[in-house]
Homo-oligomer: A and B are copies of this chain.
Amino acid sequence: MGVDVGGTKVAVGLVDAQGKILTSLRKPTVATGDAAAGLASVTGAIDALFAANPQARETIRGIGICAPGPLDPNTGVVINPPNLKCWRDFPLGDEISRRYRVPVKVDNDANAAALAEYLWGAGRGYKNVFYGAIGTGIGTGIILNGRIHHGRTGAAAEGGHVTIDYHGPVCGCGKRGCIEILAAGPAIARRARAKLSEQPARESALRKLSGGNIEATTSEMVGQADADGDPVAKEILLETIDLLAVWFGNIVDLLEPEVIIIGGGVAAMLSPFFAELRERLAAQCLNSRNQEIPLLHAHYGAESGIAGGAALCNSFG
């Protein structure tokens, strides 16, 4: 069973040994009350899944949970997630394990999604995988020799906060010019608004999509406008590709993964430009042979949290 605990919803699903999501359901998260209320959101979703699939009580190997960080993947303790304030040093893994009498693992969503891609998705056949989920933020997971690279405290693979412009804008994390503040969804929207403001006379599908209200422009509109052939949107996405090439160049020079997998909500609108990304990456990594590194779409989309949670159960007997 994979459980994806987010700030607004809990998604749970049953996943088979080949990574196929057999069934799933979603419930809202109650994150405003105390720790017990937060826990009840999770157990409510799990209970509902068991109620609909009673045989699962006998057949599951365990429960794997993606939870918001920071957390300790070794102990299953959720430390102090900014978007789930109900929990502070909360032993989520132990609580779920005691209640359902099964082994439980807890990890962050990008680590777990990386593991799911490695086991069942775009990363099959590779031992060293770099996974980046580009959406509202940028989450990353690193698989080395078939295992999640957790690092000293369990919080490694925060690749979204790798700085590529130390003079750049300040990110929510406090650092300047992280790839997240430069290239995630909000940065794409910000760049779109700036371009529309600076070039008021330039006609574009993007301007039309925003309904004349530049401030209402979203990254989704940029993706839509590009799909409609809008040159302004294309410019914005190619600028984003340039930044991602610098970022991936850093990661390749440090780690030389065997494959780079791109997921997250923004990945789809970037996909028309993967050839450009590959080409620009070649100029951004020291070893020219590394332009061969496959750059692949994630297999799992919106259900990456469920698949990731289930992937965490892979180490259970």
Contacts and interface: CB of A to CB of B under 8 A. Distances in A.
Interface of A: 70, 128, 142, 144, 149-153, 155-159, 161-167, 173-175, 243, 246, 249-251, 253-258, 283-284, 286-287, 289-290, 293
Q: How many copies does the complex hold?
A: 2
A32 to B, nearest CB: 25
A240 B26 CA distance: 50
B290 A254 contact: no
The binding surface of chain A is classed by DSSP as loop
A290 B165 contact: no
Nearest to A153: B289
A151 B254 CA distance: 9
B158 A254 contact: yes
Contacts of A128: 151-152
Contact of A152 (B142, B284, B290): B290
A244 to B, nearest CB: 11
B161 A286 contact: yes
B254 A254 contact: yes
16 contacts: A70-B287, A128-B151, A142-B254, A144-B149, A149-B255, A152-B256, A152-B258, A153-B287, A155-B287, A158-B287, A161-B253, A162-B253, A164-B165, A165-B165, A175-B283, A251-B254
B166 A257 contact: no
B151 A257 contact: yes
A50 B179 CA distance: 53
A248 B144 CA distance: 21
Contacts of A167: 165, 167
Contacts of A253: 156, 158-159, 161-162
Contacts of A157: 254
Given A165-B166, A167-B167, A175-B249, 12 more contacts: A70-B287, A151-B255, A152-B258, A152-B293, A155-B289, A155-B290, A158-B287, A161-B253, A162-B253, A162-B254, A166-B243, A254-B255
A151 B166 CA distance: 27
A153 B256 contact: yes
Given A158-B287, A173-B286, A246 B166 contact: yes
A286 B162 CA distance: 10
Contacts of A142: 254
Contacts of A175: 246, 249, 283-284, 286
